[in-house]
């Protein structure tokens, strides 16, 4: 039986306005469905609902604007449907552009931060270990839980905003310590020395998601020098192919200093050995192009590129002269872009023919000039969603292979 606190009840009965009352009804009803005993305070929220999906999403948010509701905790925004820094990139319908702009603006009127990124963990103020938060967007959820050790369930559109407005969330799911224990073990072969190891992390995540579903997986055998960007790629792919919201990497992520700690002292329900051949099989399932095929574009940065990833990209570009023969897009946040501008990197990339896209992503909105051929990426998430979303054929390769292919105008794999 859900027990509401005095303030919860006041919000529910309209003491803080009609908008807050509706938000609390959503949170309380969800808590009831999840069998939560009570609600908890959250420290922050991340909203997925600023991506335009039709009139319903706009009506929902503008109701809260009209009723003068405001978010009660620091709240970041996921990608929208427009790059507001480079508005000329949008190639879609004018009405959709207008409504998408209205939706993004409406969230800002509620007091949300104009972050517009799927990687809010790359901003300055990111959650600390143990903090209770209400985050939406699948890759943000899995990163916050796994890499940062913060605590969030899988929040979706509407519920995420309701939690932000009330500052409350159901005490259920991954907010609860016992539910964060690992259940299934993936024992991974060493791929630390591979030149294309960036896509092996994404391939591993894709494999884990397919097998684990919503079960908390534990990964043993990742390279000791695994970076946050590599964990980002792993988590994003696992959340795309399954419903993974938390993984533990033994000796790497904060809640898994040891195998025993990752499983909370219990034995795994089952174990899967993962060899390099298994990861190569996943690579083949994500790739739909052959070496030598004509290439129209490259798209990197799903999830949004970090400053470190831009540094790696610039080093790869230095191996080639001139500009790529294929269009070259990199998705990131406006905050990363501003850092790149301060460092002089943004200008150098522009001179090399690299189009930086912010506030959105190339697989969810009409930004790319040419969708009539093969597009190459090193992102497992992009490779999974782009064919259905924007109708392209995907070549899947490492960042190094993507850069080489772009300069040759042909799909090229390194062996």
What is the per-residue burial (b if ≥16 Cβ within 10 Å, else e) of 386-414?
beeebebbbbbbbbbbbbbbbbeebbbbe
157 and 115, same domain (yes or no): yes
Count structural domains, the chain: 3
**How far apart (Å, rounded) are the C-alpha atoms in residues 248 and 263?**
9
Q: Report the DSSP pairing between strands 168-170 and 39-41.
A: antiparallel
Q: Report the DSSP pairing between strands 248-249 and 270-274.
A: unpaired
19 and 143, same domain (yes or no): yes
Per residue in 325-335, pLDDT tens? 999 999 999 99
Q: No. of H helices and E strands in the chain?
A: 15, 14
From 284, 317, 338, the end of a domain falls on: 284
296 and 192, same domain (yes or no): no
Per residue in 122-156, pLDDT tens? 999 999 999 999 999 999 999 999 999 999 999 99
134 and 208, same domain (yes or no): no
For each of the chain's 415 residues, which pLDDT tens digit applies? 899 999 999 999 999 999 999 999 999 999 999 999 999 999 999 999 999 999 999 999 999 999 999 999 999 999 999 999 999 999 999 999 999 999 999 999 999 999 999 999 999 999 999 999 999 999 999 999 999 999 999 999 999 999 999 999 999 999 999 999 999 999 999 998 887 889 999 999 999 999 999 999 999 999 999 999 999 999 999 999 999 999 999 999 999 999 999 999 999 999 999 999 999 999 999 999 999 999 999 999 999 999 999 999 999 999 999 999 999 999 999 999 999 999 999 999 999 999 999 999 999 999 999 989 999 999 999 999 999 999 999 999 999 999 999 999 999 999 6
From 249, 284, 319, the end of a domain falls on: 284
**How far apart (Å, rounded) are the C-alpha atoms in residues 320 and 329?**
17
Per residue in 211-246, pLDDT tens? 999 999 999 999 999 999 999 999 999 999 999 999
319 and 349, same domain (yes or no): yes
76 and 224, same domain (yes or no): no
Does pTM top 0.75 for this prediction? yes
In a domain, 249, yes or no: yes
371 and 247, same domain (yes or no): no
- Give Rg (Cα) of the chain: 21
277 and 291, same domain (yes or no): no
163 and 203, same domain (yes or no): no
252 and 314, same domain (yes or no): no
In a domain, 414, yes or no: no
Beta bridge partners of 134: 45
101 and 29, same domain (yes or no): yes
pLDDT at residue number 195: 79
Rounded alpha-carbon distances, angstroms, from residue 398 to 218, 291, 318, 377, 380: 25, 13, 17, 8, 11
In a domain, 413, yes or no: no
300 and 378, same domain (yes or no): yes
Q: 223: cis peptide before it, omega within 30°?
A: no
Residue 350's domain spans which residues? 287-408
């Amino acid at each position: 039986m859900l027990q509401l606190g005095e303030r919860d009840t006041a919000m529910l009965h309209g003491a803080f306005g009609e908008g807050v009352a509706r938000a609390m009804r959503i949170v309380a009803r969800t808590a009831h469905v999840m069998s939560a005993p009570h609600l908890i305070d959250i420290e922050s929220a991340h909203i997925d609902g600023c991506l335009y999906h039709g009139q319903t999403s706009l009506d929902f948010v503008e109701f809260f604007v009209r009723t003068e509701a405001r978010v009660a905790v620091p709240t970041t925004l996921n990608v929208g449907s427009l790059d507001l820094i480079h508005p000329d990139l949008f190639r879609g319908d004018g009405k959709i552009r207008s409504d998408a702009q209205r939706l993004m603006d409406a969230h800002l009127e509620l007091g949300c931060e104009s972050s517009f990124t799927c990687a809010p963990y790359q901003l300055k103020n990111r959650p600390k270990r143990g903090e209770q938060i209400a985050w939406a967007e699948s890759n943000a959820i899995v990163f916050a839980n796994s890499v940062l050790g913060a605590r969030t369930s899988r929040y979706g559109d509407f519920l995420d905003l309701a939690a932000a407005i009330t500052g409350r969330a159901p005490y259920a799911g991954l907010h609860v310590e016992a539910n964060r224990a690992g259940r299934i073990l993936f024992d991974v072969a060493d791929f630390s020395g591979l030149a294309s190891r960036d896509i092996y992390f994404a391939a591993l995540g894709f494999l884990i998601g397919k097998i684990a579903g919503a079960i908390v997986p534990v990964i043993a055998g990742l390279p000791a020098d695994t970076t946050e960007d590599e964990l980002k790629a792993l988590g994003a792919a696992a959340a795309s192919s399954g419903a993974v919201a938390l993984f533990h990497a033994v000796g790497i992520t904060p809640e898994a200093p040891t195998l025993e700690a990752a499983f909370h002292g219990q034995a795994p329900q089952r174990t899967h050995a993962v060899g390099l051949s298994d990861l190569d099989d996943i690579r083949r399932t994500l790739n739909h192009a052959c070496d030598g095929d004509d290439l129209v574009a490259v798209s990197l940065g799903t999830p949004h590129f970090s400053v470190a990833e831009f540094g790696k990209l610039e080093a790869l570009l230095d191996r080639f002269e001139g500009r790529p023969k294929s269009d070259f897009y990199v998705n990131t946040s406006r905050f990363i872009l501003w850092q790149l501008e301060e460092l002089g990197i943004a200008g150098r990339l522009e001179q090399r023919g690299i189009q930086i896209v912010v506030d959105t992503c190339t697989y969810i909105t009409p930004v790319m000039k040419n969708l009539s051929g093969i597009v190459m990426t090193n992102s497992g998430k992009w490779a999974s969603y782009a064919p259905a979303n924007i109708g392209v054929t995907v070549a899947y390769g490492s960042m190094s292979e993507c850069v080489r292919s772009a300069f040759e105008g042909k799909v090229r794999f390194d062996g």
